Amino acid sequence: MKVLFLPQTSELGPSSRYRVYQLLPLLRKSGIECEVSPAIDSDLYASAYLKPGGHRPIGFAHKIWRRRRADLERIAQFDAVFVQKGVFPGLHAGFERRFAARKPLVFDFDDAIWLPREGGSPLPRALHREHVVQDILRHAAAVIAGNGFLAEYARRFNQNVMVIPSAIDLQRYPPQLKTAAMNAGGQPVIGWIGSRTTLPYLGALRRVFEKLQVIPRVIASGDPAVLGFAVDFRSWRLESELVELTQVDIGIAPLPDTAWEQGKCGVKLLQFMACGIPVVASPVGVHNAIVRHGANGFLARNPVEWCKHLGELIGNAPLRERLGRAGRETVEQHYDVRTVAERVASVLCSLG
């Protein structure tokens, strides 16, 4: 079986990296011939999302448009097409309709893309139309949703919907990888990893950091000055991401409780857990499924609970070790990329 994979971005984009690229070697081993064509290549992605003061270069949309037109012209070479999140979700569904008219189309998404995107440019939010996403869902032969919240929405427009979570390649995260971090003051390092658009999530914990007298380590793109408080900032780079993660002692994942965040799939939380790093997370969306409070991490609903649980972890090395080990076991049992790749392969083969 030969499948054309159309991820939204190159491997630099986390959504495409976890939902497509890391699956490809395993899908090929299962006999699926895979060809990949990202809508946004690495150069475009770096210009728009990674460079300080990043902006979308002139011709950004036009380059994407030309790439997808070229993909349409060669679609006859393939048995099926796998579209990850869409070309212009909420703005235009023409490419997806045309692909689906010629070949069975699998549509995969891991965000609440029927809603205007939080963060980023205001223009796409102003132009966003929910019916465009509904149109894509109706035309797909199968839909893969990253969590139950997304699947519930998709089933309103398509009966062939399955939940397949985002996963971690545990071969990249061996159990012995975690290193003792500790900051200059001898305290455990509290760390967060994210993007320019999710950086504002940390603002909700400003008073918590002040009360605990800690400076969080932040691994991200963007400008940390937008937070308005001191952080130990490390610019995110794909090649250094894993090293940076292993130098964190406690991972945090704050989220506001909105519909957009309900659609998130918890990859950053899973990364910490795969490293054996204990976590504290907001009880929002899929976090409630990943974290079992007190067993493999903590859930914190408000600043008082954030202070309590972070304080417990800061002062108790055996607790950090126990929860970190349990978190790693959770990823091994439920979020291993090999299991996910088998399920995606099954979906694709069912179309043949």
Residues 23, 30, 2: CA angle, nearest 5 degrees: 80
Q: What are the pLDDT digits (tens) for 178-231?
A: 555 555 567 899 999 999 889 999 999 999 999 999 999 999 988 899 999 999
How far apart are the C-alpha atoms of 32 and 24, rounded to whole Å?
9
Tokens of residue 220, six digits: 């991200």
Q: Report the range of poorest mean pLDDT among 25-29, 184-188, 318-322.
A: 184-188
CB 210 within 8 A of CB 310: no
Residue intervals of the chain classified under CATH 3.40.50.2000 are 2-167+336-350, 170-334
Residue with the bigger pLDDT between 62 and 343: it is 343
Q: Tell me the whole-structure pTM to 2 decimals.
A: 0.93
- What CATH class is the domain 2-167+336-350? alpha beta
Question: Could you give the CA distance from residue 88 to residue 41 in angstroms, rounded to a whole number?
Answer: 15
- Evaluate whether the domain defined by 170-334 bears CATH number 3.40.50.2000: yes
CB burial class (10 A; 0-12, 13-18, 19+) of residue 302?
A: exposed
**Close Cβ partners of 294 (under 8 Å, ≥ 6 residues apart):** none
pLDDT in tens, 141-173: 999 999 999 999 999 999 999 999 999 999 998
What would the DSSP string read from start to end of 276-296? Answer: T--EEE-S-TTHHHH--BTTT
Residues found in the chain = 352
Q: What is the C-alpha to C-alpha distance for residues 94 and 81, in angstroms, rounded to an integer?
A: 15
Q: Which residue has the tokens 């408000």?
A: 302
